[in-house]
Amino acid sequence: MDTTKQFATDMDSHDKMRKYKVEFYLSENQLYMDGNSLGLMSKRSEATLHKLISSWRDKGIDGWTEGEEPWFMYPELLSERVAKLVGANGTEVMVTGSITVNIHQMLSTLFHPTVERSVIVVDELNFPSDIYAVESHLRLRGLNPAVSLRKVKSNDGYTLTLHAIEEMLTEDVAILLLPSVLYRSGQLLDLGRITEMAHSKGIIVGFDLAHSVGAVPHQLHTDNVDFAIWCHYKYMNSGPGGTGGLYIHERHHHELPGLAGWFGSNKTKQFDMSHDFSKADGAGAYQIGTPNLLSTAPLSGSVELFEEVGMEAIRSKSLALTKYLRDLVHAELGTYGFVDVTPTADEARGGHIALAHPEAARICKALKEANVIPDFRTPDIIRLAPISFYSSFVDVWEMVQRLKKIMDEDTFKTFSNERNVVA
């Protein structure tokens, strides 16, 4: 491969998304490779947040119904735009809650255990919060997680095979909950295939899209996925704690919310203040209380960027960046013991590259000192996510040079090989 800086410069000159870098706040000389954990702030997000703050300042309570973007319909209108990015109908998506809260909402709504079917299947590599949420639902229904929670096993500790997933889909399973992209290895699962496999056994399927929304195009509706949940603060750059999202296929919209609240009401009836709940028709029914508008507003500006560029173009640049990063690591750092654990095929990898290394924790500390922002995941993973909107090929090239210098000069050995509190 061509490892010269000139090659990276040429790639950048052909990149149609390069003009978007100035839309984001990047620190001078810093290479930010952690947009899969917390995306950077865009000027458009900042503007829509300021707009919301001004409406509060200028209108007080009337902000709910007056002004350019009245708060009462703000999440609903935004949800229709987000729905397009995940391949859902406008009524199937709601911008609300957080990943964990939305898992609770979807399980309390769709998990109806019976004597014959009471098992929930997850995978042994999933993020802890998802597992805690699922276990609590089993306990709430008087079921024992040691019996009713099953985990798809991984052969290599990093990825899942379709075969291993299929083996778990027995007649006593009620719900299958998997990530779209595994948060450590970056493996992208085939949502359509898995949904088909599960449906053939009468199992409801949900996906956690934390690591794919804003990075990978989805067709949730045509893939027939039953439900999905995600956050917007990773690839969608909506800010720390930004409001999350949920999708629920329209065939389930008759279901009463398991966790009901007045914001799940039909909008025209909500202020009747009746004790009889009039459920909203679509995914809006699964909102609970008053929306966190200050945490929602940045998403509006961000979505504009995604609408402008389109998910296909975002994905194709992301694939080119991660391929380039992987190839450069192999060419430049081949002798340093990095094991690339992200699947190679385009259709099997999300938006980041994961490198396993026994010294990962302190290599990450050395990278930070060299003004590269990586992401460490215990026990031995360095995640690197070049982001289509604000990373260039030269950034990737420069990052690999800084990493090479750290390895050549053993700089990482001056740090302890333990994780920080937030890592």
Q: CA 304, CA 45: separation in Å to the nearest integer?
A: 9
Q: Is residue 211 within 8 Å of 375, Cβ to Cβ? A: no
Alpha helix ranges (H) inside 114-200: 128-140, 145-148, 162-167, 191-199
Decide whether 105 or 148 has the Cβ nearer to ligand PLP: 105
Nearer to ligand PLP, 182 or 399 (CB): 182
Q: Which is nearer to ligand PLP, 113 or 350 (CB)?
A: 350
Between 8 and 38, CB nearer to ligand PLP: 38
What are the structure tokens assigned to 91, written together?
């009524």
CA-based nearest residue to 237, from 299, 318, 183, 182: 299
Structure tokens at 392: 């260039």
Q: CB-wise, 94 or 366, nearer to ligand PLP? A: 94
Least distance CB 253 / ligand PLP (angstroms): 24
* Distance in Å, CB of 332 to ligand PLP, minimum: 29
**Measured between alpha carbons, how far is 53 from 55 in angstroms, rounded to an integer?**
5
Distance CA 197, CA 121 (A): 13
Task: In angstroms, give the least distance from the CB of 107 to ligand PLP.
Answer: 14
Half-sphere exposure of 141 (CA within 13 A, CB side): 25
Q: State which residue, 231 or 381, has the beta carbon closest to ligand PLP.
A: 231
Name every residue whose Cβ is closer than 8 Å to that of residue 128 and which is 6 or more positions away in sequence. Answer: none
CB of 76 to ligand PLP, least distance (A): 21
Binding site for ligand PLP (CB under 6 A): 98-100, 127, 129-130, 179, 183, 208, 210-211, 231, 244
What is the DSSP code string of 324-338? Answer: HHHHHHHHHHTTTT-
* Shortest Å, Cβ 166 to ligand PLP: 22
Task: State the nearest-atom distance from the C-beta of 324 to ligand PLP, in Å.
Answer: 24
